[in-house]
Structure 1
Amino acid sequence: MALGRGRRGRHARHNKLDATPPWQDPPKPAGPVTAGPWDAGEAPDDGLERIDLGALQVPAVAGVDVRVEVGADGQVVSATLSHSGSELQVGVFAAPRTAGIWGEVRREILASLAAQGGTGQEVRGEFGRELTGRVPVRGGYQATRFVGVDGPRWFLRGLYIGPAATDPARAAPLTDVLRRIVVVRGSEPMPVRDPLPLRLPKGLAEQATPPGGIAAPDGTRR
């Protein structure tokens, strides 16, 4: 497992706050949670070594590399897992206490794909409602698969790119890591859809990539 670092541009903040008093506990799910990604308050004691990225605790798995994207201000804004020519981009965002945002985000992703000249459709997958799509790239189209998980006051979005977007067998190693991620939301109020604070692990050597925008929950860059 290798860990790298990239750079991304500064993002704009949303003005809608998740103004949840820090002394109130988030609501519990109706039944037991049986599969991840996990909230820190529900994570199993599985003994796995995890890379501490702050709000994201990512399992260190042989064969799956982890790259972090860094904003212009030096803050980590997202993580990308890679395995055998496929990637899984993972972002985690603040969400309201009362309802999830994945349904709304799905509609925005479909609109964004259409605006780019691509296509997308909603399908039933292992994470419930998912999106599959194609986006135009130089020389053709690139297949994509979006998954979303609504947690207690957080939302996690995953974007599969490469063979894993269409081949479940190629996606399996990345999905296994995604299922074992632990999200540490924290108690502080945050603007809804703002990225949760991430950080670099100690001792990480910089591996810069060209700057770009930060991925919003709907997959667009800001």
Structure 2
Amino acid sequence: MFGFGKKKQEEVARADTEKVEEPENPSPEQEAALDESADKATGPTSDDTPVVFSREDGPWDISEKSTGHQYIDLGGLFIKSNPGLNLRLEADTKSQQVIAVTLQMGEGSLQVQAFAAPKSRGIWEDIRHELSESVRQQGGQVEFSDGAFGRQLITRVPAELPDGRKGFRIARFVGIDGPRWFVRGVFSGKAVLPGQDASALEEVLRNIVVNRGSKPMAPRDLLPMRVPQNIQEAAAQQQAAAHEGDSSKPSLEVPRRGPEITEIG
């Protein structure tokens, strides 16, 4: 399903150093379960042992992977279709440009953004250090661990729950350095912790193809994204498949405004 959320572009572009973002709000029951699991965690609070991640299984650069009808073309990102996968596009309030995509499967969600990066080195190590400092300044907690994409952060930031109680927003941040690009993923809901929802969305992230383009861009600039040109056709195909009883295709709708990204802090 496609939907639109709105957010100022400059706030999203600086989110790795200023704000913690969580694309979806877990239910009170999910929040309680995540809090209980996080309380039991004993992960390190420092990043003294960086882990180098190899992209042998993706995400891919456009020069490494061919994209066909199975992929949804968002411009800077290509998302592979997957049964049960819902997509929501986040748009800049003023320019209406697409600046992020949120992918949801089951009870987990994953927000993905792609940025330009220097040719000579990756930027994830710098960004995760900046992010950890930002979280601590907000009164939150940070745990570093090794995950499917190398070094990752699990963050817990004080926030008011939907029912008014005080609690935490929990998110898992991963970063992948590619050739002149960087992809940041933010897992929320049940995808924060190991399990079926996390594994499914991690596979979605591995299958992403990044189209950096050849134009000069400053490091950390967002790669431009767009609404798929064939979205009307995709929606028509989805409706036809529904009439024929074929549920193997992902749910697609004409873009509309959806929930905004929740800022924490």
TM-score range, shorter chain: 0.7 to 0.9
**Which structure is higher in strand share?**
1
Shift of 1:211: 5.8
Cα 1:186–1:148 change in 2 (3 A) is: same
Q: 2:114–2:181: 8 Å Cα contact kept in structure 1?
A: yes
Counterpart of 2:149 in structure 1 is 127
Q: 1:131–1:146: 8 Å Cα contact kept in structure 2?
A: yes
Matching residue within 57, 75, 78 for 1:54: 75
Q: Does 1:5 align with 2:4?
A: yes
- Compute the TM-score of the two structures, normalised by the length of structure 1: 0.81
Matching residue within 56, 67, 76 for 2:98: 76
User: Does the residue aligned with 2:157 lie in a helix, a strand or coil?
Assistant: strand
Runs of 4+ in 1 over 6 A off after TM superposition: none
Q: Does 1:206 align with 2:227?
A: no
**Residues of 1 paired with 2:55 and 2:82: CA distance?**
23
User: Does the residue aligned with 2:3 lie in a helix, a strand or coil?
Assistant: strand
Counterpart of 1:143 in structure 2 is 170
Counterpart of 1:173 in structure 2 is 200
Cα 1:131–1:62 change in 2 (3 A) is: same
1:11-56 per-residue CA deviation (whole Å, 9 max, x = no partner) reads 2789xxxxxxxxxxxxxxxxx952111001111x586611100010
Cα 1:10–1:159 change in 2 (3 A) is: closer
Aligned residues: 197
**Residues of 2 paired with 1:168 and 1:212: CA distance?**
24
**Which structure is higher in helix share?**
2
**Residues of 2 paired with 1:140 and 1:167: CA distance?**
21
**Residues of 2 paired with 1:195 and 1:181: CA distance?**
16
Cα 1:133–1:211 change in 2 (3 A) is: closer
Shift of 1:210: 6.0
- Compute the TM-score of the two structures, normalised by the length of structure 2: 0.68
**Residues of 1 paired with 2:225 and 2:78: CA distance?**
10
User: Does the residue aligned with 1:165 lie in a helix, a strand or coil?
Assistant: coil
User: Does the residue aligned with 1:11 lie in a helix, a strand or coil?
Assistant: helix
Q: Which moved more, 1:2-11 or 1:110-119?
A: 2-11
Counterpart of 1:118 in structure 2 is 140
Alignment of 1:97-112 (within 5 A): 97-112=119-134
Q: 2:4–2:88: 8 Å Cα contact kept in structure 1?
A: yes
Q: Which amino acid aligns with 1:133?
A: T
Q: 1:154–1:185: 8 Å Cα contact kept in structure 2?
A: yes
Cα 1:209–1:116 change in 2 (3 A) is: farther
Q: In angstroms, what is the RMSD of aligned CA positions?
A: 2.4
Counterpart of 2:217 in structure 1 is 190
Counterpart of 2:110 in structure 1 is 88
Alignment of 1:16-27 (within 5 A): none
Shift of 1:85: 2.2
**Residues of 2 paired with 1:120 and 1:79: CA distance?**
24
Q: Which amino acid aligns with 1:192?
A: P
Q: Which amino acid aligns with 1:97?
A: K
Q: Which amino acid aligns with 1:189?
A: P
